[in-house]
Amino acid sequence: MNLDSNDGKAPLPRLGIMFQEDGLNFLEMAQISASRWRYVWVVDGEAPPSPIDSRLMRRFGDVVNISDLNDDSAASSLQAAEIGGITCFSDRHLTRTAAIAHRLGLAYHSPTATRRMSNKLQQRIALEASGMPGPRYVSLPGNTEVQTLLDQVSDFPFPAVCKPQEGEAAVDTAIIGNLDDLRAHLIEIWDGGRSRDMILEEFLPGVGNQDGFSDFVSVECAVINSNVQVIGVRGKMPQDGLRSTGALMPSKLSAHQLSEVSDCAIAAAVGCQASHGVLHTEIKITPDGPRIIEVNGRVGGPGVPELVERQTGVSLKALACELALGWTPTIALSAPTESVTFFYRLQPPLGAIVSIPPTSVEKFAALPGVEGVSVNRYESSGRTGAGMFEDSLLTVHGTAADHDQAQSIYEAMLALLTAGS
């Protein structure tokens, strides 16, 4: 039976989902629906769906292509498709989703809020205006001569972080030690044909790794009619530069730190004027307290939903869909346990070309507590500008008895890589 069928009862509400070729599992989305709504897959400027994706999209919903339409025409087209809500799961679709929702009177963040949550410069301006402390920052427009920009930031405090004002997964993001580093980074990006506006932010010093875990965390929240509810705080393994190496729940933060980072995430949501949806907020714990890295107006990326659901019982994707339909779901969190759920990402040394023989995957799967292994690539590219996920070799997920065992599993995984698998 088709999972979006309701056996001849009243018509199901129709939910628009922005198609993304690198992030939708249609079978998973059908299971999330559980016959409560029917999907309308909205194609907007992405590469055409593969033949397999096309078949799955039509099995579990309808398809509307708005790639060549302006916002008004796109809204009219989706109104004709009778959608009762619309949402997305990637930063690049946030502003378009908000524009359509606004025109159709659907439940979603406002265009102003999504602009703040998809553009890092606008976000810094909004958070600063709301009174939240943060790093110094400056805009680096892509249509400006590099030397002109260097002259303008000659007194900027280094180290710093340079990243695209609009982007995701840390692509073209780098830690900058001095003006020469900045020059090289901008030239690499702009001469490579990626003419994009950048932002330079003062590097936030952290309190350092705590008991083997990072001072960098993420807070997953739901916003229902402008009321912010924290669903969970994910701890992270030590960062490899700016690349994610894994996460776990619960974090090992103290009760006081958990309260601080939760309050920080809520204040940032209010500062961005988030009103209805799921947020993924990244926070650095500094000697002066928690500081916002960025607020993302969507469900967290690969591994986040699975980790959160296994630890809290809350499906972030289902929640995002329910909120987009204008529903006001009750969020019931599972009772906390002593066990630790983890999702580790094996990153090669930055800039190095590392291979993993296919037969070695069994060694990772045999580590204590590991319940699944997913291969991203068997050989790294060696690119220093690769994004957070682009060059990772594989991911492992599972459950540990406590934080000590979770750390031991992570160290064993790194040892396998060092040993050449």
52/155 same-domain check = no
How many domains does the chain contain in total?
A: 3
Report the pLDDT averaged over residues 100-107: 98
Helix (H, G, I), strand (E, B) or coil at 415: helix
Whether residue 123 is contained in a domain is answered as: no
The rounded distance, in Å, linking the Cα atoms of 371 and 259 is 31
Half-sphere exposure of 128 (CA within 13 A, CB side): 11
173/318 same-domain check = no
Residue 407's pLDDT is 92
Q: Which of 238, 236, 241, 245 is nearest to 209 (CA)?
A: 238
Whether residue 111 is contained in a domain is answered as: no
Q: Residue type at 94?
A: L
Phi-psi region of 131 (alpha: psi -120 to 50; beta: other; left: phi over 0): left
According to DSSP, the β-strands at 394-400 and 246-249 are: unpaired
Residue 7's pLDDT is 54
Residue 5's pLDDT is 45
Whether residue 322 is contained in a domain is answered as: yes
- Of the two residues 336 and 267, the one the predictor is more confident about is 267
pLDDT tens track for 136-195: 999 999 888 999 999 999 999 999 999 999 987 778 889 999 999 999 999 988 876 677
- Residue 384 pLDDT more than 70? no
Whether residue 53 is contained in a domain is answered as: yes
Q: What's the CATH number where 236 sits?
A: 3.30.470.20
Three-state SS annotation for 170-204: CCCCEEECCHHHHHHHHHHHHHCCCCCCEEEEECC
Minimum mean pLDDT among 9-18, 131-140, 190-199: which range?
190-199
How sure is the predictor about 1, in pLDDT bands with cuts at 50, 70 and 90?
A: very low
273/381 same-domain check = yes
Whether residue 170 is contained in a domain is answered as: yes
Which structural domain range is residue 50 located in? Answer: 14-106
Whether residue 208 is contained in a domain is answered as: no
Q: What's the CATH number where 87 sits?
A: 3.40.50.20
Residue 2's pLDDT is 43
Report the pLDDT averaged over residues 388-404: 83
Q: What is the mean pLDDT of the chain?
A: 89
314/414 same-domain check = yes
* Residue that finishes a domain, picked among 178, 202, 226: 202
pTM to 2 decimals? 0.90
- Of the two residues 134 and 353, the one the predictor is more confident about is 134
